[in-house]
Structure 1
Amino acid sequence: MTHVIITGGSSGIGLALARIYASRGARISLLARTLPTLEAAHSELTKSGNADAIRIESADVADEGQTAAAISRCEEAFGPCDILITCAGIVEPGLFEVVSPDAFERQLQTNLFGSIHAVRVVYAGMKQRRAGRVMLVSSGAGLIGIYGYTAYSASKFALHGFAEALRSEARPHGVKISVCFPPDTETPQFTRELEHRPPEAAVIMGRVAPWSSDAVAGRIARAIDRGDFEVFFGWTLWALGRFGSTVKPFLNWWFDRAILRISRSR
């Protein structure tokens, strides 16, 4: 039976993915920081499936020790990880000079190193078995820098680079590495994010309606099934991913003009 480990699996995209794999009869391990939210996710998933096939672990992925211990317990209970999906992430918008050093580092530690910590625990076993799939969840903000998102964009750009390099290392050993770039997605975190999003950022991010977490999760699951490396959502992000060096100069010119108009109107 397939063992799927999902960090950030208690809500949003992670929980939507858990529903998909639960419907397929997989063993599912969910990691997240907040135990009550994890318990609510466990309760939902077990209503339509086998409670013995769902495991939850409260851990902060930014902490390497917590992550390693939690994933090790999951593998002891359900066997080696077949699919790892790193959904855990945080976003705290704000201008660079306003965001505190702690908040900046927290986003890097969670979004980038949180994924790396999780991969490190399962990667050696996957190589040894010559099988395994890893899906790293980046963001559209990992394809183009967003006003007011210096920390978040930095973490998500870096995650893309990590995925590209690891893909080259993992491929000869039968391990498939993927990275996806979701757009704005209807999640509890997105609701909180909008309260702090600078109006200038809406020029870039607010012109496309957010996707549902179920729609994003469905595309991610299909990409894992196919073994796709990069997963884009909508033609805009696809164009950025495929032709970024060509289209970004024009986009940045247009964004700069729009941001300047907003600044002058204040």
Structure 2
Amino acid sequence: MSLITWEISLYIVLAILAHVAVFVFVNRKRSKSIVNKHIVITGGSKGIGLCLAVECALRGANVTVIARDEKMLSGAIALMEVIRQRPEQKFQYRCLDISSSFEEVEKCLTEVEHTFGDIYMLINCAGLAVCGVFEEVPLEDARKLMDVNYWGTYNCTRYVLPKMKKAKEGIIVITASQAALFGIYGYGPYAASKYALRGMAETVAMECKHLGVSVTLALPADTNTPGFENEQKTKPKETKIISGSGGLANPDTVAKQILNDALNGKFISILGFESWLITLLGGALFRWNGIYENILHAIALGPLRIVGYILHLHFERIVRNCAKEKAE
């Protein structure tokens, strides 16, 4: 290995260690309490959404879960009842397709506020994934991805935002994915829907921060959920190889990270070194948390551009190799 390569490697390692030190010592502020607060979670019947509902219940919140499957919603409520922290703690569910009209979403959220009070925290976790080569994804699937992932989140966020601004408090979580940072083979329409969420989160955060409302953009990598299992059914071989290199996260761990970051007022929520690296490379204009993190990112970003270039070369090689296999 050449001297220059060693210097670059050392530079990256030192930057990472410095980042870890700042993360540990600077970001030690106390999380907001959600005891007796009303939290609404879309997609709260399974996967990361269910884990978030459980974690909120464990912290004493009054929780509303929203999804389409009533049987699974009933199961989510039963699970939260088992871990109830206070006698007066409340749980409820509503069956709703969040991609329906805004009027339907407005009606549902008005009802849940009538029973549990104003929504303090909205966690947008409902979504779906359909993979495939861009022109081979059925048009109805491409439209459904935008309807659920983008418009569903838009509808719920649009309802709570004016109320939170007026109250000068509130938290909104928008769950995108690492696919919101750069496009990968086989993720065309799905990535587009997640990029849209990224743009929404950045815009809403800028519009309401001065009014006491915080926005957290969650960027989870592949996570071991029912949604991921369904995603695998349509995922091309190339996509499986590329995305599989990052491993599979535990939904409980992801949920705890998202909730902690949201309650600490962080704009970005990520888990693990690989996600941090991809997010740093793909989100230079993100509003990272605090001057110290931004300074360290500025130091690290130059050398890490080389890492980004190498990653793209690696992914392109995978696509070429798979194309050769298909041709044989």
**Given the two structures, how large is their TM-score scaled by the length of structure 2?**
0.78
Question: Which residue matches 2:91?
Answer: 54
RMSD: 1.4
Shift of 1:99: 1.1
Shift of 1:65: 2.7
Percent identity between matched residues is: 32
Q: Look up the match of 1:42.
A: 77
Label 1:36 to 1:51 Cα distance change in 2 as closer, same or farther (>3 A).
farther
One-letter amino acid of the structure 2 residue matched with residue 177 of structure 1: V
Q: Does 1:11 align with 2:49?
A: no
Moved more, 65-74 or 213-222: 65-74
Does 1:141 find its partner at 2:201? no
1:257 aligns with 2:317: yes
Gaps of 5+ in 1: none
In the TM superposition, residue 52 of structure 1 has moved relative to its aligned partner by 6.2
Match of 2:216 in 1: 178
Summarize the alignment of residues 97-108 of structure 1 with structure 2, pairs less than 5 Å apart.
97-108=135-146
SS at match of 1:211: coil
Correspondence 1:30 to 2:65: yes
Q: For 2:107 and 2:71, how far apart are their aligned partners in 1?
A: 20
User: Which segment is superposed worse, 210-219 or 139-148?
Assistant: 139-148
Match of 2:32 in 1: none
Measured after TM superposition, the shift of residue 37 of structure 1 is 1.1
- For residue 122 of structure 2, the aligned residue among 66, 71, 84 is 84
**Aligned match for 1:162, one of 200, 220, 232:** 200
Distance (Å, rounded) in 2 between the aligned partners of 1:114 and 1:146: 24
- What is the aligned partner in structure 2 of residue 226 from structure 1? 264
**After TM superposition, what 4+ stretches of structure 1 lie above 4 angstroms from structure 2?**
none
Aligned residue identity for 2:230: R
Moved more, 234-243 or 191-200: 234-243
1:107-118 mapped onto 2 (5 Å cutoff): 107-118=145-156
Higher alpha-carbon Rg: 2
Return the letter of the residue paired with 2:323: S
Provide TM-score, normalisation by structure 1: 0.96
**Does the CA contact (< 8 Å) of 1:203 and 1:259 recur in 2?**
no
Distance in structure 2 (CA, Å) of the matches to 1:116 and 1:249: 34
Amino acid at match of 1:218: K
- State whether residues 246 and 274 of structure 2, in contact with CA within 8 Å, keep that contact through their aligned partners in structure 1: no
Kept in 2: contact 1:144–1:248 (CA 8 A): no
Give unmatched runs, 5+ long, in structure 2.
1-35, 285-304
**Where do 1:208-223 residues align within 5 Å?**
208-223=246-261
**C-alpha deviation, 1:167, in angstroms:** 0.7
| One-letter amino acid matched to 1:193 | E
